Amino acid sequence: MDTPLKNLAIIGAGAMGSGIAALFASKGLNIVLIDPMEGALERALKTIDRQLNVYAPGGVQEAMQRIQVSPGLEAACNSDLVIEAVPENLELKRGIFAKLDSLCPARTLFATNTSGLSINAIASAVVRRDRFVGTHFFTPADVIPLVEVVRNDDTSEDTVARVMATLRFAGKRPVLVRQDIPGFIANRIQHALAREAISLLEKGVASAEDIDEVVKWSLGIRLALSGPLEQRDMNGIDVHYAIASYLYKDLENRTEPSELLKSKVESGQIGAKNGQGFYTWSPERRERVLREKSAALGELAAWLNGKAGGS
């Protein structure tokens, strides 16, 4: 099934919702962006205009005309697909979908953009569980190609096919996560990597800068072209087994966040958004890095898509 759903509602006008709205509007789909918070929609429209000027400069006005805004969930009632992109709060998400379930016609599909909350738990708020799916976009949502599409226990094949067709139409590379597990695929792998990196920093093995340098300029550039399982095949599974036999026992395997991570949060050192984390961030540096990395990621994604298309 290759026909995209044409009328979408996006619930939540933060960075993620704005990025999703910009993406789909730039591809010719009709969007209603919904957020009750005062000033959120005005800020979102400015953000979307700026995003479109980066990757769709020739069609900004046309794309913006396809985006309607509203503070109320009632505006979603004529949508083919509703994508929720509100903060990671289970009860907040469940409450929104319970209301949507009573407002929207039976044909409407529901998708929750969560980084790892249970799709089954969120879907339990609706009657139409067969029309409910998880869609995990990655920040920035309008740049990173991959979307994890996560089933709940009752998601129908038709729902999966329609949502994935819409994502492909928008230029995304959706993958189907067949089981509703915490963190899905990407966050499980990302947290395993981050846990080891934080442990190395905590033990004084190397500086934050040098740990990041190792990952970016060895694993990072290789992972852009070969996933970890393909790379094991290329290196030899026997070689991986031999190394794993002595290395696994020495890897970080704690089941609770490290003391370093806990102390950072407790002292308010939560990263770029407030100026201090593993690095020091001025507002100017934060904006510059976000802008430059988003542009570079877009160029890299376009290049990789070109390579994939020609292979």
Is there a contact between 15 and 3 (Cβ–Cβ < 8 Å)?
Answer: no
Q: Over the stretch 33-47, which tens digit does the pLDDT of each residue have? A: 999 999 999 999 999
Is there a contact between 112 and 118 (Cβ–Cβ < 8 Å)?
Answer: no
- Going from N- to C-terminal start, the domains of the chain cover 7-177, 187-255
Is there a contact between 95 and 57 (Cβ–Cβ < 8 Å)?
Answer: no
Strand order in the sheet with 30-34: 67-70, 30-34, 7-11, 81-84, 109-112, 132-136, 146-151, 173-177
Statement: residue 215 has pLDDT above 60: yes
Statement: residue 219 has pLDDT above 80: yes
70, 124, 187, 199: which one is catalytic? Answer: 187
Given this model, what pLDDT does residue 309 score? 65
CATH 1.10.1040.10 fits 187-255, yes or no: yes
Does 148 participate in catalysis according to the annotation? yes
CA-based radius of gyration for the chain: 21
CATH 1.10.600.10 fits 7-177, yes or no: no
Statement: residue 83 has pLDDT above 70: yes
Rounded mean pLDDT of the chain?
Answer: 94
pLDDT band at 176 (very low <50, low <70, confident <90, very high): very high
Q: What is the mean pLDDT of residues 58-73?
A: 94
Statement: residue 48 has pLDDT above 60: yes
Does 305 participate in catalysis according to the annotation? no
Q: Using alpha carbons, select from 254, 245, 270, 263 the residue that is nearest to residue 199.
A: 254
* % residues pLDDT > 90 (the chain): 86
Tell me how far apart the alpha carbons of residues 82 and 221 are, in angstroms, rounded to a whole number. Answer: 35
pLDDT band at 310 (very low <50, low <70, confident <90, very high): low
79, 84, 148, 294: which one is catalytic? Answer: 148
Q: Over the stretch 257-266, which tens digit does the pLDDT of each residue have? A: 999 999 999 9
Q: Over the stretch 89-132, which tens digit does the pLDDT of each residue have? A: 999 999 999 999 999 999 999 999 999 899 999 999 999 999 99
For residue 287, CA distances in Å to 209, 233, 283, 284, 297 come to 19, 40, 6, 5, 15
For residue 53, CA distances in Å to 29, 43, 46 come to 18, 16, 11
Given this model, what pLDDT does residue 55 score? 72
Is there a contact between 162 and 136 (Cβ–Cβ < 8 Å)?
Answer: no
- Kind of pairing between the strands at 7-11 and 30-34: parallel
Q: 207: how many CB neighbours lie within 10 A of its CB?
A: 12
Statement: residue 311 has pLDDT above 70: no
Does 191 participate in catalysis according to the annotation? no
- In degrees, rounded to 5, the angle at the alpha carbon of residue 264 between the alpha carbons of residues 260 and 265 is 120
Does 78 participate in catalysis according to the annotation? no
* % residues pLDDT > 70 (the chain): 99
Tell me how far apart the alpha carbons of residues 46 and 43 are, in angstroms, rounded to a whole number. Answer: 5
Residue written as token pair 């004084």: 204
Given this model, what pLDDT does residue 127 score? 97
30, 136, 152, 294: which one is catalytic? Answer: 136
3-state SS assignment for residue 304: helix
Statement: residue 283 has pLDDT above 70: yes
* Token output for 261: 């991570």
Given this model, what pLDDT does residue 267 score? 97
115, 124, 156, 258: which one is catalytic? Answer: 115
Given this model, what pLDDT does residue 58 score? 81
Given this model, what pLDDT does residue 96 score? 98
Q: Using alpha carbons, select from 80, 96, 71, 82 the residue that is nearest to residue 21.
A: 82
